Every structure is written in C-alpha cells, then in structure tokens.
Structure 1
Amino acid sequence: MTANVVLQTDFGISDGAVSAMYGVAISVNPTLRIFDLTHDIPQYNIWEASYRLYQTISYWPEETVFVSVVDPGVGTDRRSIVVKTADNQYVVTPDNGTLTHIKAEIGLLEARIIDETVNRLPNSGESYTFHGRDVYAYTAARLASGVIGFEEIGPEISVDSITQLVKLEPSLEDGTLTGNIDILDVRFGNLWTNIDRRFFNQLDVRHGDSFEVIIQNDIRQVYKNIMTYGRSFADSHLGEPLLFINSLDKIGVAINQGSFANAYHIETGAKWKISIRKIQKIGYN
C-alpha cells in the first residue's frame, strides 16, 4: 500500500515553509503521497487545529500519518510526540492541546515522545524554530515509509499525560440543551456545535419545529432568537436563521445565504456556549 502523509499548519502558503516540509518528506521516500489538510489555521489557534484534525481524520485509510504544526511554544520544553489513534492512524504534533478532539471523540491507544537524537533532519540540530520541517515532517515520512516502526519513535508516555484543552461536554437540563461553538464552516460562516444529532433528538424533534437559541461568550449574551429546524438551507427563507445537521452529524446554525458568524461577531472555542430549547412551533408568511 502506498503511504500517505497529511499536513496541517498555520503557515499559509505565501512562503516556502510548507514546500520545505514536502521536500524533507520526499527526500526520505520519493514515493510518499503527501496531501494538505489545510495551512490556513489562524495563527497560534490550537483549538482550531484540534478540531480540523478531528473533522478530517476518520475519512482517511488506516496507517495514514498526519502532521499538525500549530506551535506557539516552538523551542520551549513542550514535548514533540506521535500518537496512535483507536482507528490505527498516527498524528505527529507538539503536545500542546492539538489532540483534544481526537482523544475525546476517537480515542488514543499509544503515545511516544520523539527522540530527536535519531528522528531529526540531519544537520538541523542548531535550529529551534522550525520543528515542522526538521522533526515532524522528517519523523512522519520515516514512519509512513516503514524506515522506523512506531516503537522507534522514542520513549513511550501515558496517553493520560497528553495536554488537553478545556472542552465543554453537551448537557440537557429542564428541556434545554447546552453545548459550545466548536468551529466555523469558514467560507459560509455557519456555526458548528458539539451537540450531536442523537443528543438533540432527546428533545423529540421534527423538521419544521421551532427553537429558542441563545449564544453566549462566557457570561455575555450575544444572540437570542427563535429559529426553525430544517433538513437543508432550502427549508428557510432567504436571510432567515435555521438549525440543521452538519456533515459530522452535529447541530449547526446558519443564515440562509448569509454568514451567521459575521452577522453576530461569533467566534469558537470553550468560551462560546449555545443553548437550544424547543418552543411552540412558529411559521413565517
């Protein structure tokens, strides 16, 4: 089977950083297949890096090796690690919270610290600011190519010791669902929550039902309105808000042909909370 390496960074593609990572990997094995998950993670945004990995990883074959480099702590004593997921894939990344969603939603079986005395690009030992090239791309290519096995990455560490970001779990109390805004559907401005469809169905929902939706940033309310639960965007009028099931089987919030995030200046992460309560059905003329 041809080996796959998938890259994610906050580097952008306006300079040669990503190309250098490609070059290092191909120098290890010219037959590697290298793909880009995204290089448009907002700078230093570990939360978004964590979610984009989770959004993507399940659709790739077993033994795919992912590299995620969103690393504001590069050059510090934060660990460089490789993990094996419950779906038999690998992620090479700094230990800074990037694995939060994968650990919670998929599961991690094993983890190892990268031994840089072995798994580091030759003649790069005096550089401490580009581990994406010198350590992560190099190690990922060696692992994907079979040059090293997982046991040769470096010392084993406990999966429980891996750094995790604060992550709110959905809850249901007195008929109100509470979760958080995990991520944006960036191009269209839809909100993706961490409330999955099965949990939402505990409210005894039907397409066309009406819901009160409240969005808060910590304790400040930024949005409150009534909207309809639709099968698709066509189930609402132009400019109207709606609830829907997104491509990860979780609740999304949208404006028909508009950006919900831009309209109400909504962002993502553990501080951004959403509450959903079923109310008497309303209709629009």
Structure 2
Amino acid sequence: MSQHALVLQSDFGIDDGAVNAMYGVAYSVDSSIRIFDVTHNIPVFHIWEASYRLLQTVSYWPEGTVFVSVVDPGVGSERRSVAVRTSTNQYIITPDNGTLTHIKQKIGIAEARHLDETQNRLPESGESHTFHGRDIYAYTGARLASGVIRFDQIGPEVLPESLIKLPVMEAFIEDEWITGTIDILDVRFGNLWTNISRRLFSKLDIRYGDALNVIITHGTNQVYCQTIVFGRSFADIPVGEPLVYVNSLDNLGVAINQGSFAEVYDIGTGIHWRISLRKARQD
C-alpha cells in the first residue's frame, strides 16, 4: 500500500487527551503512518482561521498528503462531512462549514466527495456524536493516507461549487487607494496579514522606503490612521516603529519591529476588518 503523511489541525488545544486520541486512532489504522500538526490552537469555533491556516500550509506539502481539519461547531448536526482533492493534489477531510473557503478561492478544488459517515467510522463508535474528529475524520484520514481506501471510496462525488463558502472580499484599487481585508494575524508576533497581493500592490508603483498612508477600519469605525514606511524587512526600521512589508504568502503585512501591532492597536481579523493604503503625498 502507498503511504502519505497525515496532517492534523483543530481547535482542541493540547490541554486534554483529544488530540492524542486522534493520533491513537490513526496509529491503530497503520502503526507506521507519519503524523504532523498544522496547529491545535485555532480559536474555539473560529472557522475562518481554520480556513486560512490550511491556505498557509497545504500547497507546500507533497502530492498525496492528507489533511484533517476539525473546527466543528455543528458536530452531531445535519452538517455535511466532505473530502476534497485540491488542484495541487493534496487531500482535505473536514466538515463542510466554510473551512475550505480559502483553499477553494486561492488554490482550487479539483474534486469533492460527501464523506459517508456510516461507512467511514471508527468501529464501535456509532453511538458517539460529539467527537467526529476522532471517530470519523482522523480515522478516514489515516485510512486514506495509508492506502487502506482510495479517495473515490470515501463517498459519492459532489460539485465543488456546492461547498459552503464564507463571505470574502477581493482586494481592489480605487482612486490611488488599495483596499483589502485583514485576514489573519501572525499570531506569535502580532503582525497583520492582509489579502492584498504583492502583484496587485505593485500597480501603485510604490518602492521600498516610500511612505504610505494607512487606514484601518472595523465596520464603520476607523481604528487606525497613520503614515508608515514600506520596508523590505524589519531591519529597515528602528525598534518600536511600524512598517508595511510583503509576508511569506506574498501578501502585504503590517507590523511593529519587535512589537505586536495587533495588541497595541487592538486589531482583529475577518471580513469586517478593512485596510486601505496609498502612497503618501508630498506637500
């Protein structure tokens, strides 16, 4: 049997035995399986962040890698479980609740299947309806990664267009301003990661060292309005000063050198957090 890596993600944390139980189920399928983690520190029930963390990691793994993402506030309900094959030939098993939003938008989904929970379930777990991460997703992911089952045996094919998608806004340019959303935080450092691509930003003819007007809003409230330098790296500015930079996903980020921009200015993430930038005018 062919074997591929199994990569797990959840909002379970590691304060109890939940993640360990998922590992155990996977090893019970195949004791030689290789298991890795994206993170288990997704904020509880935060589907948007689960979606973005998949975008951050999936395409960097070899073809055939199987991801299991479990952020599942609807566990035990009639919500659908799905497995998908990305356009770069990785697999993701997850609740169909919007977790695939960024993968669908930025990478593409080549094929999707409705996971048959009656056939793909840990033996003797049929009366448990609150831990599908262990009983269905980890079990099915391990079977797929280890070659016990093929992707087409997971369940009937469904249209990728039918998968639930969270609301998103594409970045755009209007009247010298470029506007996008603050999609996620570089959590440990408090940097803001936007959906403004370097390619779109380059249309403004801005160079490293230029000053930018930066406005951040949350809904109708303006929470930040300052001039910030566009820098190549954090070393370009003094400690404690802000900068706009290109992050590891080739999108614009906003940071404070050796500080937390998100904490200092109480910035959040998601569709209602907007950022607008333009080259500062010389008066």
**TM bucket, shorter chain:** over 0.9
Give the 3-state SS of the residue equivalent to 1:271 in structure 2.
Answer: strand
Deviation per residue, 1:102-154 (Å, 9 max, x gap): 00000001111111221100000011000000000010011111111111001
Deviation per residue, 1:188-209 (Å, 9 max, x gap): 1000000011111001011000
Q: Report the counterpart of residue 27 of structure 1 in structure 2.
A: 28
Deviation at 1:281, TM superposition (A): 6.1
Aligned AA for 1:241?
P
Give the 3-state SS of the residue equivalent to 2:61 in structure 1.
Answer: coil
The percentage of counterpart residues that share the same residue type is 64
- Contact in 2 for aligned 1:209/1:281 (Cα 8 Å): no
Q: Report the counterpart of residue 246 of structure 2 in structure 1.
A: 245
Q: Report the counterpart of residue 263 of structure 1 in structure 2.
A: 264
- Contact in 2 for aligned 1:210/1:281 (Cα 8 Å): no
Separation in 1, partners of 2:253, 2:118:
46
Separation in 1, partners of 2:131, 2:3:
27
Give the 3-state SS of the residue equivalent to 1:139 in structure 2.
Answer: helix
Q: Report the counterpart of residue 49 of structure 2 in structure 1.
A: 48
- Contact in 2 for aligned 1:67/1:136 (Cα 8 Å): yes
Deviant stretches of 4+, over 2 Å = none
Separation in 1, partners of 2:282, 2:125:
64
Aligned AA for 1:176?
W
2:116 corresponds to 1:115: yes
Q: Report the counterpart of residue 9 of structure 1 in structure 2.
A: 10
2:196 corresponds to 1:195: yes
Q: Report the counterpart of residue 37 of structure 2 in structure 1.
A: 36
Deviation at 1:38, TM superposition (A): 0.2
Separation in 2, partners of 1:117, 1:56:
30
Q: Report the counterpart of residue 144 of structure 2 in structure 1.
A: 143
Separation in 2, partners of 1:136, 1:191:
31
Deviation at 1:2, TM superposition (A): 4.1
Listed as ranges, the gaps of 5+ residues in structure 1 are: none
Pairs aligned (count): 282
Q: Report the counterpart of residue 104 of structure 1 in structure 2.
A: 105
Q: Report the counterpart of residue 224 of structure 1 in structure 2.
A: 225
TM-score by length of 1: 0.97
Deviation at 1:280, TM superposition (A): 3.2
TM-score by length of 2: 0.98
Listed as ranges, the gaps of 5+ residues in structure 2 are: none
Deviation at 1:234, TM superposition (A): 1.2
